[in-house]
């Protein structure tokens, strides 16, 4: 008995220094991931609770621990307001010991939180925010832009549509930083491909009636109407375009459309539309396997298939945790260096590399929405028209012009 006790004591003593070291390496003895997202507003179906679920699934699949320390996921609703987002971010970093903030739908909130994280030397991994300058002139050393950006969305759709004859464009644009940036990116692509931009109409975010903007688009005679908006705005634009007999005479180009939008619109209304996506659940066996797991998860009350931003968050969380495991600490600098050094190849990202500017460049897809007759089973919504290789899908480091990454 005595011997057992003493050997236990011995073991305890021996393990002490090791435990002490691991505690140092993992700040506060826990890796804490904060998912800051839109839980109830316009973007809550495409990110929101599904984003939180994706991160939690990744933590669970990783084993719930890294370097022997627990991984915790917390979440909050920023209500799409930049001031609320930055307040929560400060509290999370200062009081709640959060190591990384993820998701951040709507670029306004992303721009509010990124500088806070950089100041506190903590990470941000953006999935739903889309503005290109996140990894351009507004880049920070502590940020990764994981799933897509406006440039990718604009290029994939813009270039292909112009190539197939849609050479005159009119934009219906959400009147805030994201919409304008998306419009500008697409207009540049259209012009570069030999097309012409005939005009634009800017509407306040969260409008419900788009008929007057659609009338302007109709009057312009443009072959293509580019929708530089998102969420419910896009849904209502598409719906009313059909009502006013604009489609199929003029073609709609969705610049930021999610599978959740198509699901709620129905194929009859959305059919024939082109869009660019970085993920489609029905692409191959790997994507199907993960997506079905997501769909049938008990926390996924609506049994919805994952959107690209939710799938991206799972992949990002895995990549982040693997980086911590590899470098043996959760300190931001070595972790982000590791994340940039190791390529990403999983169900979500093919040929993925995170550049020195923090932009994750990976393959993307140009797809067309199926008609009801072409759709064979639930959520069978997209025809893949073209796989866009990573180098074509995203802007080069030089083009992005992030001051941290461009050598002078």
Partner 1 sequence: MQALFGQLLVGLINGSFYALLSLGLSIIFGLVNVVNFAHGAMYMTGAFFAWIGLSSLGIGYWPSLLLSPLAVGLLGVAVERTMLRRLYQLDNLYGLLFTFGLTLIVEGLFHHQYGNSGNSFPVPEALQGGSNLGFMYLPRYRAWVVLVSVAVCFASWFVIERTKLGAYLRAGTENPKLLQAFGVNVPLMMTLTFGFGVALAGFAGVMAAPIYQVTPSMGSGLIIVVFAVVVIGGMGSILGSIVTGIGLGLVEGLTKYLYPQAASTVVFAIMAVVLLIRPAGLFGREK
Helix (H, G, I), strand (E, B) or coil at 381: coil
Is residue 109 involved in binding partner 1 (CB under 8 A)? no
Nearest to 106 by CA among 185, 178, 206: 178
Is residue 11 involved in binding partner 1 (CB under 8 A)? no
* CB-nearer residue toward partner 1: 114 or 172: 172
Q: Kindly report the backbone phi and psi dihedral angles of residue 277, in degrees, each rounded to the nearest multiple of 5, phi listed first.
A: -140, 150
Interactions with partner 1, residue window 172-201 (CB under 8 A):
175, 201
Cα–Cα distance for residue pair 43/40, rounded to 1 Å? 8
User: DSSP state, 197?
Assistant: E
Please report where in the chains the tokens 């839109």 appear, as a residue. 38
Shortest spacing between CB 202 and partner 1, in angstroms: 6
Residue of 27, 87, 168, 216 that binds partner 1 (CB under 8 A): 216
Q: What are the C-alpha distances in Å from 326 to residues 93, 322, 332, 342?
A: 23, 6, 13, 10
Is residue 79 involved in binding partner 1 (CB under 8 A)? no
Helix (H, G, I), strand (E, B) or coil at 187: helix
Is residue 40 involved in binding partner 1 (CB under 8 A)? yes
Is residue 239 involved in binding partner 1 (CB under 8 A)? yes
Strand partners, 254: 227
* CA angle, 116 then 122 then 128, to 5°: 75
* Residues 6+ away with beta carbon under 8 Å from 17: none
Is residue 106 involved in binding partner 1 (CB under 8 A)? no
Q: What are the C-alpha distances in Å from 188 to residues 183, 195, 236?
A: 9, 9, 26
Is residue 263 involved in binding partner 1 (CB under 8 A)? yes
Is residue 45 involved in binding partner 1 (CB under 8 A)? yes
Residue of 108, 136, 156, 231 that binds partner 1 (CB under 8 A): 231
Shortest spacing between CB 219 and partner 1, in angstroms: 5
* CB-nearer residue toward partner 1: 48 or 395: 48
Contact range with partner 1 by CB under 8 A, out of 59-67, 91-99, 259-267, 358-366 = 259-267
User: Reading across the β-sheet that carries 196-203, which strands appear in turn?
Assistant: 196-203, 168-174, 224-228, 251-254, 274-277, 364-369, 382-388
* CB-nearer residue toward partner 1: 263 or 362: 263
* CB-nearer residue toward partner 1: 216 or 322: 216
Shortest spacing between CB 8 and partner 1, in angstroms: 52
Residue of 204, 376, 407, 408 that binds partner 1 (CB under 8 A): 204
Contact range with partner 1 by CB under 8 A, out of 243-251, 315-323, 373-381, 386-394 = 243-251
* CB-nearer residue toward partner 1: 152 or 304: 304
**223 with 250: CB under 8 angstroms?**
yes
Nearest to 25 by CA among 327, 330, 333: 330
Shortest spacing between CB 370 and partner 1, in angstroms: 16
Is residue 208 involved in binding partner 1 (CB under 8 A)? yes
Residue of 9, 12, 19, 215 that binds partner 1 (CB under 8 A): 215
Is residue 395 involved in binding partner 1 (CB under 8 A)? no
Cα–Cα distance for residue pair 334/340, rounded to 1 Å? 10
Is residue 41 involved in binding partner 1 (CB under 8 A)? yes
Is residue 80 involved in binding partner 1 (CB under 8 A)? no
* Residues 6+ away with beta carbon under 8 Å from 36: 75, 76, 78, 85, 88, 89, 92, 101, 102, 103, 104, 109, 113
Cα–Cα distance for residue pair 111/140, rounded to 1 Å? 10
Contact set with partner 1 (CB under 8 A):
40-42, 44-46, 48, 175, 201-204, 206-209, 211-213, 215-216, 218-219, 231-232, 235-236, 239-240, 243-245, 260-261, 263-266, 268-269, 302, 304
């Amino acid at each position: 008995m005595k011997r057992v006790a003493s050997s236990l004591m011995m073991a305890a003593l021996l393990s002490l220094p090791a435990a002490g070291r691991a505690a140092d390496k993992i700040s506060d003895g826990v890796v804490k991931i904060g998912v800051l997202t839109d839980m109830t507003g316009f973007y809550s179906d495409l990110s929101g609770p599904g984003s939180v679920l994706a991160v939690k699934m990744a933590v669970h699949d990783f084993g719930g621990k890294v370097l022997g320390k627990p991984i915790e996921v917390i979440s909050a609703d920023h209500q799409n307001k930049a001031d609320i987002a930055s307040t929560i971010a400060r509290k999370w970093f200062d009081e709640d010991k959060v190591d990384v903030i993820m998701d951040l739908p709507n670029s306004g909130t992303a721009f509010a939180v990124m500088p806070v994280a950089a100041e506190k030397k903590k990470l941000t991994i953006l999935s739903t925010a889309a503005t290109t300058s996140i990894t351009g002139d507004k880049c920070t050393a502590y940020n990764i832009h994981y799933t897509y950006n406006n440039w990718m969305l604009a290029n994939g759709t813009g270039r292909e549509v112009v190539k197939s004859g849609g050479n005159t464009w009119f934009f219906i644009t959400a009147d805030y930083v994201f919409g304008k940036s998306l419009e500008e990116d697409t207009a540049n692509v259209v012009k570069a491909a030999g097309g012409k931009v005939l005009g634009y109409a800017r509407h306040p975010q969260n409008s419900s009636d788009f008929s007057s903007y659609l009338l302007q688009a109709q009057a312009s005679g443009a072959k293509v109407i580019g929708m530089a908006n998102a969420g419910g705005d896009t849904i209502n634009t598409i719906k009313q375009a059909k009502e006013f007999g604009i489609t199929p005479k003029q073609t709609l180009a969705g610049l930021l459309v999610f599978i959740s939008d198509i699901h709620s619109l129905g194929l009859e209304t959305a059919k024939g539309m082109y869009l660019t996506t970085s993920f489609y659940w029905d692409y191959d066996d790997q994507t199907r396997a993960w997506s079905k797991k997501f769909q049938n998860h008990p926390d996924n009350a609506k049994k919805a298939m994952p959107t690209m931003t939710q799938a991206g968050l799972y992949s990002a969380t895995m990549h982040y945790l693997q980086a911590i495991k590899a470098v043996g600490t959760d300190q931001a600098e070595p972790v982000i260096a590791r994340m940039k050094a190791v390529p990403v190849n999983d169900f979500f990202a093919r040929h993925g590399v995170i550049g020195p500017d923090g932009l994750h460049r990976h393959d993307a897809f140009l797809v067309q929405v199926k008609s009801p007759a072409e759709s064979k089973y639930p959520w069978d919504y997209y025809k893949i028209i073209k796989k866009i290789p990573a180098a074509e899908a995203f802007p080069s480091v030089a083009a992005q012009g992030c001051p941290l990454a461009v050598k002078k």
